[in-house]
A and B are shown apart, each in its own frame.
Chain A
Amino acid sequence: MIRSLQQIGLLTAKDLRIEARTRQTLGLVVVLGILIVTVLGLGLGSQHQTGSFGAPAVLWVAYLFAGVLCFEKTMGLERQDGALAGLLLSPIDRGVIFAGKLLSNLVLMLVVAAAVTPVGVLFFGFDLSPAPGGFAMVMGLGMLGFAAVGTLFSALVSSTRLQGGLLAMVVFPVILPLVIVSTQLLEKMFREGRPLEASSLAMLVAFDAIFLVASWLLFELILEP
């Protein structure tokens, strides 16, 4: 158990170290997220139809596209110079590789969210003050499930013809339940001013658990050098 945790830590640290030295992914992804928020803000904001409550949906769009790019990049790193073959040959469980990739994807996505969320909140005049903790929790749980499915299917990238578009196409329909639940919860919390109920949060947690377990079990089947 402790050994697996150490291995997960090593794998994650390796990914993050590569990212810290090359700074390939984060700059790109953060700018992409801000651009998406800007485009949607210009498209929706000028008509004053959506009001400030469109912000969670807009943020989700930004997170989704930025996240897919993150997953592609972290897995793409392994495709260079046969790194994945080395990883597969090393004496570690495939589930550990999944957990390591998931963790590094989550860290990257948190950084992206930390940069993009203030922009979205500012542009849309969204008032976070009623429940900032609830907002972070709902979005964080949504992202966890998204990252699990994204990490699973990122193993597909580069073994298929449609490189970029495919991952988004495969991941988006699968994680739509998470988007529906979290936007509904945020709507309840911010528009109707109701506190976060444990039962609705439990649904999100259960979805995460299903996505995590299914992805963890299926990951090794589609991972190949």
Chain B
Amino acid sequence: MSMLRTTFRSAYWAIAGLSFGATVYAVFNCTPDEATMGTIQKIFYFHLPLAICTFLSCTVAFVGNIAYLWQRRTKWDDLSAAAANVAVLLCTGVLITGMIWGRCAWGQWWTWSPRLTFSFLLWLLYVVYLMVRTSVTSPQRRAIVSAVYGIVAFLDVPLVYLSASLLPDIHPGHVQLAPAMQLTLAFCFIPVTMLAAGLIAVRFNLNRRERLVSDAQQSEYAAALPFAAVGGAV
């Protein structure tokens, strides 16, 4: 069983790595250069999939939060923690690729335009989610508190989007892509989505194991407690 799992895991990451290599090749060799921005536009092929996968991870975290409050099973808490971690990581990727692109296209690293503000606030919301998790000590309380915060944070996402749309905009809105560009972009979703899903799964398994260890330690401690008390009294 474990051999099957190991094989599956290796195959998964091998496919992800291979498709990443293939997309990098396709991005540089099979797509035309964009007319005004030139080579720097190629960052877009990873920028957009990263942004979409960030939303997907946030949605997974939200589903985990709701399911935890509904069923109170620890696996849901572990799942949303894993998804939030990955969301922060991917959102950092979105911000960094976006900033590099913005530097080359607009000549500045940062401006308070709607999409930039939106992705930055999304990043902040989920970083705070991770901070909330580390600041509550009791595991049960932590799960409840972070689930509540996670739900509020996810509900906040459309509000952030709406409010940011009031700011003056320079970000490209609807872009028309050449067929080769569209195909490459679609292909780019494969490695990025595989990376996101794979990282969530790895992190989820890690969280499960950490919880098993801490539960075992606690029950061991509880089992040893009566003897310790007796020993102390003697």
A residues in contact (CB < 8 Å) with B: 149, 152-153, 156, 159-162, 166, 169-170, 173-174, 176-178, 180-181, 184, 200, 203, 207, 210, 214-215, 218, 221-222, 224
Do B162 and A177 touch across chains, with their CB atoms under 8 A apart? yes
Do A222 and B163 touch across chains, with their CB atoms under 8 A apart? no
Do A181 and B152 touch across chains, with their CB atoms under 8 A apart? no
Say whether B61 faces chain A, with CB atoms less than 8 Å apart: no
Say whether B40 faces chain A, with CB atoms less than 8 Å apart: no
Starting from the known contacts A160-B136, A177-B156, 6 additional A-B residue pairs (CB-CB under 8 Å) come to A161-B136, A174-B156, A176-B121, A177-B121, A180-B164, A203-B163
B132, B145, B159 — which one has the most chain A CB atoms within 10 A of its CB? B159
Which residues on A sit within 8 Å (CB–CB) of B163? Answer: 176-178, 180-181, 184, 203, 207
The 7 closest A-B pairs by CB, nearest first: A177-B163, A180-B163, A177-B159, A184-B166, A173-B124, A162-B135, A181-B163
Which residues on B sit within 8 Å (CB–CB) of A159? Answer: 136, 141, 145
Given contacts A169-B128, A170-B132, A176-B121, are A184 and B155 in contact (CB under 8 A)? no
Say whether B149 faces chain A, with CB atoms less than 8 Å apart: yes
Say whether B18 faces chain A, with CB atoms less than 8 Å apart: no
| Total number of B residues with any Cβ neighbor in A under 8 Å | 29
**Which residue of chain A is the closest to B141 with respect to CB atoms?**
A159
Say whether B125 faces chain A, with CB atoms less than 8 Å apart: yes
Which residues on B sit within 8 Å (CB–CB) of A215? Answer: 152
B131, B149, B163 — which one has the most chain A CB atoms within 10 A of its CB? B163
Do B125 and A170 touch across chains, with their CB atoms under 8 A apart? no
Say whether B67 faces chain A, with CB atoms less than 8 Å apart: no
Which residues on B sit within 8 Å (CB–CB) of A160? Answer: 135-137, 145
Complex Cα distance, B164 from A203, in Å, reads: 12
Complex Cα distance, B133 from A161, in Å, reads: 11
Q: How many A-B residue pairs have CB under 8 A?
A: 78
Determine how close the nearest CB of chain B comes to the CB of A182; give it in whole angstroms: 9
Contact of B160 among A153, A177, A222 (CB under 8 A): A177
Say whether B151 faces chain A, with CB atoms less than 8 Å apart: yes
20 A-B residue pairings within 8 Å (CB atoms): A159-B145, A160-B136, A160-B137, A161-B135, A173-B121, A174-B156, A177-B121, A177-B156, A177-B159, A177-B162, A178-B163, A180-B166, A184-B167, A200-B166, A207-B163, A210-B159, A214-B151, A214-B152, A215-B152, A218-B152
Complex Cα distance, B162 from A180, in Å, reads: 10
Complex Cα distance, B160 from A214, in Å, reads: 16
Determine how close the nearest CB of chain A comes to the CB of B214; give it in whole angstroms: 17
DSSP class of B's interface residues: helix, strand, loop or mixed?
Answer: helix
Complex Cα distance, B134 from A161, in Å, reads: 9
Which residues on A sit within 8 Å (CB–CB) of B141? Answer: 159, 224
A159, A200, A215 — which one has the most chain B CB atoms within 10 A of its CB? A159
Say whether B199 faces chain A, with CB atoms less than 8 Å apart: no
Given contacts A161-B137, A181-B166, A222-B145, are A176 and B160 in contact (CB under 8 A)? yes
Say whether B144 faces chain A, with CB atoms less than 8 Å apart: yes
**Which residue of chain A is the closest to B125 with respect to CB atoms?**
A173
Determine how close the nearest CB of chain B comes to the CB of A92; give it in whole angstroms: 21
Do A221 and B148 touch across chains, with their CB atoms under 8 A apart? yes
Do B167 and A156 touch across chains, with their CB atoms under 8 A apart? no
Which residues on B sit within 8 Å (CB–CB) of A184? Answer: 163, 166-167
Given contacts A149-B152, A207-B159, are A166 and B132 in contact (CB under 8 A)? yes
Which residues on A sit within 8 Å (CB–CB) of B136? Answer: 156, 159-161
Do B144 and A221 touch across chains, with their CB atoms under 8 A apart? yes
Complex Cα distance, B156 from A55, in Å, reads: 26
**A-contact 0/1 string along B153-178, CB 8 Å cutoff:** 10110011011101100000000000
Contact of A210 among B125, B149, B155 (CB under 8 A): B155
Say whether B69 faces chain A, with CB atoms less than 8 Å apart: yes
Which residues on B sit within 8 Å (CB–CB) of A203? Answer: 162-163
**Which residue of chain A is the closest to B168 with respect to CB atoms?**
A184
Complex Cα distance, B137 from A14, in Å, reads: 32
